[in-house]
Amino acid sequence: MSKQSAKQRTIKDIRKDDVRIQVTGYIKDPSEPGKITLNDNTGKITVNIKNIEFKHSENDLINVIGELVISMEGGKTIIAEIIQDMNNLNFEYYQKLYELKKKYG
């Protein structure tokens, strides 16, 4: 059985029916063991990194692919499966392209 493909999202566009997502953003607050906060300028989300090798630092730009978990209180967490270094990406253009793809399909 293959896994469902990950939907490309910004944090503000995450939907309740999303199962696997990918979000690109900056690492913030990596002080809690096994967790980081990802900020993509549309919001923040917790990323669980306990089950992967993690070699990144605060303010690094990364792409996270993983399973979305929404708590009973509505809090969202991504259980990271893959983390990609995106420090060479022009994030401003990436966000503009995302919005164009969302608008025009």
Q: What is the CATH number of the domain that holds 61?
A: 2.40.50.140
Q: Are 76 and 64 in contact (CB under 8 A)?
A: no
Q: How far apart are CA 37 and CA 31, in angstroms?
A: 9
pLDDT at site 19 = 96
Q: How far apart are CA 56 and CA 54, in angstroms?
A: 6
pLDDT at site 2 = 57
Residue stretches of the chain with pLDDT short of 50: 1
pLDDT at site 1 = 47
Residue 2 counted as domain residue: no
Domain total of the chain: 1
Q: How far apart are CA 79 and CA 20, in angstroms?
A: 9
Q: What is the pTM of this model?
A: 0.92
Domain extent for 61: 7-104
Q: How far apart are CA 14 and CA 85, in angstroms?
A: 21
Residue 1 counted as domain residue: no
